[in-house]
Amino acid sequence: MTAASSVDRLATVQSDLERQRIRTRWSLVAPAMIVIGIFGIVPLLIILVYSFLVAGGYGGVEWKFTTDAYVSFLFDRDIFDGTFKFVPDYLEIFWRSIWLALLTTIVCLVLGFPTAYFMATRPPSQRNYWVFLITLPFWTNLLIRTYAIMLIIRDEGLVNDAMRGIGLIDKPVHLLYTNFAIILGLLYSFLPFMVLPLYSSLEKLDFRLVEAGFDLYATRRKVLWRIIIPLAKPGIIAGCLLVFIPALGAYITPLILGGGSELMIGNLIALQFGTSRNWPFGSAQALILMAAVMLALIVYVRSSTERGRTAHG
């Protein structure tokens, strides 16, 4: 036996082991891939196909190809002469949803940053409890939490009762079924999504840099704006994304607090699959929403890889 042939043999054994290792890994993830593939990915492909079909009379679809679903998102076809007229109604709901989600994200950031900073500067033994307290509401039922908000802000609710009690107002102020109610509900639902990534990036903050700032006669304000906030940027971006995406696709919050008159994309989609019985149109709207989410994710990935590059360069 020469040395060379035993090296060869070793190499074959190693590549066999490697192949076996990959096979074991794949067989372990296979159930997850199959279940999510069939019941998670295939349905998405189905609505992609549905969005190019004709609506059935009683829900469902007819198997005829058309791009009507996408066209009717922007235009209304005149039944008599077949001309298209621009209809901004659906676009307006999309635009409003984006605007509401953005506003929610900004308010979440303004409230979430101080909270996360405060948590990160507690003694280590207390931090875990803070994280637990902030996370706990997220795990409770969203429908119930939104209902609780409704109890407080409706005309006969606690806020109006209290304001009437101290003589601030004599007629109830309509808070429910307004944009304010939706933003409050979204803020309340998604605040933990902002606080947690901010906390995890602030917790790793090197406070020697803060000290150096003070040594160079920076004020507390300046240290915050010039040192702490720039260092927390990854957390800020992640938090904003984690709030913006679910807020954009919100369904329960506008359903309960918007009261059917103040719609968001989520409700519009549900409506097409419910009373409107226009599944292709609903599918098209769902895909447009999905595209918006993907766009936000791409922007995020871009910005995080760019950061990685500048950090190395």
Partner 1 sequence: MAEQTITRPLTVDTVKRPRDPARQALDLKRQPGFGTVAMLCLAMLYAPIVILVVFSFNTSPSVTRWENFSLQWFFKVAANRDIHDAAFNSLQISIVATVVSTIIATAAALATTRTRPWPGQTAAYMVINLPLIVPEIITAVATLSFFALLASTAKINLGIGNLILAHSVFCIPFAYMPIRARLEDMDLTLEQAAADLYATPWQTFRRVTLPLLTPGVSSGAALAFIVSIDDFTITQMVAGPGQTTLPLYIWGQLHKTGVTPEVNAISTILLVVSILFVTLSFLIGRKRK
Residues 233-252 binding partner 1 (CB under 8 A) are: 245-246, 248-249, 251-252
62 binds partner 1 (CB under 8 A): no
C-alpha 103/C-alpha 105 separation (Å) is 5
Q: Please, which residue, 239 or 249, has the CB nearer to partner 1?
A: 249
C-alpha 25/C-alpha 37 separation (Å) is 17
210 binds partner 1 (CB under 8 A): yes
299 binds partner 1 (CB under 8 A): no
54 binds partner 1 (CB under 8 A): no
Contact range with partner 1 by CB under 8 A, out of 71-79, 117-125, 174-182, 305-313: 117-125
275 binds partner 1 (CB under 8 A): no
Count other C-beta atoms under 10 Å from residue 97's C-beta: 24
Mapped onto helix, strand or coil, the DSSP state of residue 151 is helix
31 binds partner 1 (CB under 8 A): yes
Contact range with partner 1 by CB under 8 A, out of 81-89, 165-173, 230-238, 279-287: 279-287
Query: For residue 210, what are its two tokens?
Result: 């803060």
* Interaction mask 69-108, partner 1, x per CB under 8 A: ----------------------------------------
Q: Report the candidate in 90, 111, 264, 267 with the shortest Cα–Cα distance to residue 198.
A: 111
Of 75, 180, 273, 300, which lies in the binding site for partner 1, with binding defined by CB under 8 A? 273
**Alpha helical stretches, state H, 174-278:** 179-203, 207-215, 220-223, 229-231, 233-248, 252-257, 265-273
C-alpha 241/C-alpha 235 separation (Å) is 10
Mapped onto helix, strand or coil, the DSSP state of residue 54 is strand
User: Nearest approach, Cβ of 83 to partner 1 (angstroms)?
Assistant: 31
User: Nearest approach, Cβ of 283 to partner 1 (angstroms)?
Assistant: 7
Tokens 């309960």 -> residue: 256
Mapped onto helix, strand or coil, the DSSP state of residue 42 is helix
Binding residues for partner 1, total number by CB under 8 A: 92
136 binds partner 1 (CB under 8 A): yes
291 binds partner 1 (CB under 8 A): no
137 binds partner 1 (CB under 8 A): yes
SS (H, E, C) 185-209: HHHHHHHHHHHHHHHHHHHCCCHHH
Residues 6+ apart with CB under 8 A from 275: none
46 binds partner 1 (CB under 8 A): yes
Q: Please, which residue, 87 or 271, has the CB nearer to partner 1?
A: 271
Query: For residue 15, what are its two tokens?
Result: 């590549």
Of 90, 117, 193, 244, which lies in the binding site for partner 1, with binding defined by CB under 8 A? 117
Query: For residue 28, what are its two tokens?
Result: 């372990």
121 binds partner 1 (CB under 8 A): yes
297 binds partner 1 (CB under 8 A): yes
C-alpha 266/C-alpha 252 separation (Å) is 8
301 binds partner 1 (CB under 8 A): no
C-alpha 283/C-alpha 307 separation (Å) is 36
169 binds partner 1 (CB under 8 A): no
158 binds partner 1 (CB under 8 A): yes
